[in-house]
Copies of this chain bind each other. A is one copy, B any other.
Amino acid sequence: MTTGKPAIVLVSGGLDSATVAAIARDQGFRLHALSFDYGQRHVLELEAAKRVAAALGIVDHAIVRFDLRQFGGSALTADIAVPKDRDPAAMGVGIPITYVPARNTIFLSFALAQAEVAGAEDIFIGVNALDYSGYPDCRPEFIASFEHLANLATKAGVEGKTKLRIHAPLMALDKAAIIRRGVELGVDYGLTLSCYDPTPPNIACGGCDSCQLRRKGFREAGVADPTRYR
């Protein structure tokens, strides 16, 4: 996997980003993975990211560390309980407490730095506007706006040499369609971890919004769910 144009792929360790990485590889890109240790509750997520990146034959895997806990404001980074067993009908309404302020803006900003240094014109991110849990920074207009910014922010954009593209190939897919696409591409979802509140080594709670969406996705895709739930 060392041929092709370089691309940056944000890899969280979850189902979506593993699928995105497989899609980018399938398109012939040479993958540079980027993950973040930002004070999220479970470093298990990073272990999953490493497994996913290794399985996809990436060129390199950068892990940027910073602490979003110093700002707080989210159940994922502050001492607020992760909601469990919510009515699925309530998930798409409003913005849940698991929203992390400005997270995707921060993630894409670092991807932009990595892209510029690696000479990459392409950044892949696994955001999704359907099963998206109500996060503002998962919408298509956000991604389009970041792409516009990226081309103004960088050396390449000023010199007019390259055109940075932010790819969000899952944007219009539901979870079942994402899973079907990943299975076609040979993704081993047993390596991934979606849960907001897992226990070691890789066991999902089964009740948080993310687990509920994942279970429903496998069910609707008609694919056996390899996740271990407690």
Interface size on A, residues (CB 8 A): 44
Out of B64, B112, B136, which one reaches A157, CB within 8 Å?
B136
A223 within 8 A of B: no
> How far is it, in angstroms, between the C-alpha of A149 and the C-alpha of B151 when the chains are bound?
13
Q: Cβ of A66: which chain B residues have Cβ within 8 Å of it?
A: 64-66, 110
Q: Cβ of A72: which chain B residues have Cβ within 8 Å of it?
A: 117
Quick one: given A153-B142, A155-B136, are A71 and B117 in contact (CB under 8 Å)?
A: yes
Instruction: Report yes or no: A113 in contact with B68, Cβ–Cβ below 8 A.
Output: yes
A114 within 8 A of B: yes
Instruction: Report yes or no: B155 in contact with A101, Cβ–Cβ below 8 A.
Output: yes
Instruction: Report yes or no: B153 in contact with A105, Cβ–Cβ below 8 A.
Output: yes
For the residues of A in contact with B, the DSSP-based class is: helix
Q: Cβ of A102: which chain B residues have Cβ within 8 Å of it?
A: 109-110, 112-113, 116, 153-154
A169 within 8 A of B: no
> How far is it, in angstroms, between the C-alpha of A129 and the C-alpha of B104 when the chains are bound?
27
Instruction: Report yes or no: B116 in contact with A73, Cβ–Cβ below 8 A.
Output: yes
A-B contact pairs, 26 of them (CB 8 A): A62-B70, A62-B71, A64-B66, A64-B67, A64-B70, A65-B66, A66-B66, A66-B110, A71-B114, A73-B113, A73-B116, A95-B159, A99-B155, A100-B113, A101-B116, A101-B117, A102-B110, A102-B113, A105-B113, A105-B153, A136-B157, A139-B152, A142-B153, A145-B145, A145-B153, A148-B149
